[in-house]
Amino acid sequence: MSFTSILVTGASGFIGTSLIEHLSESPNYNLAAAVRRPISLPPNVRAEPIKDIDGNTDWTRPLAHAEVIVHLAARVHVMAEAAIDPLHEYRLVNVEGTLNLARQASRAGVRRFIFISSIKVNGERTSPGQVFTADDTPAPIDPYGISKLEAEQGLLELAKSTTMEIVIIRPVLIYGPGVKANFLNVMRWVQTGLPLPLGTVQNKRSFLAMANLVDFIETCITHPKAANQIFLVSDGEDISIAELLKKLGTSLNRPAKLISVPIWLLWSGAVIVRKKHVAQRLLESLRVDIQKNQRLLGWHPPVSLTAALDETVKSFLEIHRREN
């Protein structure tokens, strides 16, 4: 039996822990995890300590046996940015750090470099009836999205002059067991049983279950036609925020109490309290087209949105019980 040696960076993060767990269940991979601090890993996964990631990081030891890299490590998008020059800080890790790793990987003989980018490269919203595709002209708005685009461009240029294959994956909002941030807050809102003023929201948004993301990443590790391609990835089921709240309420056994408030009033309130970015995520649409994944790779999301939401809520309730 042949084995593929895979190095996963950002192994302690939300995606990284799930990906490592998923891949470690297969006998087909030799796995190494690049980590900044000691973490619990499956017994068949080798830890490779690495310091801060930037343009000067030495990757010699982690790359010694790697054939494929899944690069998850990044300075992630934050809602309350404190840096004086955010774009500079994002570039240090997301651009310089990524390209430094990729150049060393190419010299070390790595054959495929999978870069987890962001849908923010495409933009922040889609118009009614429209979807983002992998072939769209990028239109990032914030420093995080800009840094991800610049990393993508650098990787694709590198692919032109080396034999290393590049695969770029732009996920939409990811959820699953252990999810934090905005999605966790949404579940908490529904759990309170308090009325939510989102009954009139008719937007459509794409979401991505962690189970579907790790399955897609594995497909890109092995599929020959993934080489030098850009993919958008989602569950393939677009729903409104109101529909999401109803589904979460069903899973929580606490029906969501939605009241109808005019959209213009919601926008006005968000502007007054300086939460326009929150309103954008709740009220605007963001949809992606994954037909390329199906056509080129034969990939279909293996888990339905409803089933994935049920698993996410189950984990949320278990954590809530342990903490209280």
DSSP track, 103-144: HHHHHTT--EEEEE--GGGT-S-B-TT--B-TTSPP---SHH
Residue 52 in this model has a pLDDT that exceeds 90: no
Question: 293 pLDDT exceeds 70?
Answer: yes
pLDDT attached to residue 121: 98
From the list 29, 90, 144, 175, the catalytic residue is: 144
How far apart are the C-alpha atoms of 311 and 315, rounded to whole Å?
6
Q: Measured between alpha carbons, how far is 79 from 182 in angstroms, rounded to an integer?
A: 10
Fold of 4-171: Rossmann fold (3.40.50)
Please compute the mean of the pLDDT values over residues 16-38 and round it to a whole number. Answer: 93
Token pair listed for 131: 């979807």
pLDDT tens-digit series, residues 157-170: 999 999 999 999 99
Question: Model pTM?
Answer: 0.94
90 among known catalytic residues:
no
The domains of the chain are located at 4-171
Task: For tokens 């801060």, name the residue.
Answer: 52
